[in-house]
Amino acid sequence: MKWMLVVLVGGMTPVNTDLVFEKFADCLSAEEQMRKHYADAFEVWDRWAAENIPKRRDYSKARDLQARRLLSNVGTCIPHGAGDQQPITAPPASAGAPQPGASPSPQPSPRG
């Protein structure tokens, strides 16, 4: 089985990286390298900010924002089937869709 690295931007929004690995361990290693890269980038920014943002309060706010922006991106490895999976098809029309010619159910009148 192959594995694909997917990045969850902000910890929520999945972004496909198109990085596919033969081994799960290789995928996990790539995810670890990605996290280290983000942590290194944050450390470089933090050193710069400590020297260049004069007010402690402004620095603290900027640091929190930058930490959320960089450190909340996480990676995950998901199984990747290269062409061996069947495409997902739409459910049949009879599954919950209203039938043509059927009258809509009456709606209650709004209370005023």
Q: For residue range 46-80, what is the model confidence (pLDDT) as tens digits?
A: 999 999 988 988 888 999 988 888 888 889 999 98
**pLDDT category, 110, cuts 50, 70, 90?**
low
Between 23 and 101, the more confident residue is 23
**The predicted structure's pLDDT at residue 89:** 46
**The predicted structure's pLDDT at residue 93:** 54
Q: Length of the chain, please?
A: 112
The 3 state secondary structure assigned to the chain is CEEEEEEEECCCEEEEEEEEECCHHHHHHHHHHHHHHHHHHHHHHHHHHHHHCCCHHHHHHHHHHHHHHHHCCEEEEEEECCCCCCCCCCCCCCCCCCCCCCCCCCCCCCCC
**pLDDT above 80: residue 39:** yes
Within 13 Å, how many C-alpha atoms sit on residue 70's CB side? 19
**pLDDT above 90: residue 44:** yes
Reported as a single tens digit per residue, the pLDDT across 85-101 is 444 444 555 555 555 55
Whole-angstrom Cα distance, residue 23 to residue 29? 10
Least-confidence region, from 28-32, 42-46, 94-98? 94-98
Question: What share of the chain in percent tops pLDDT 70?
Answer: 72
pTM for the predicted model, two decimal places: 0.60
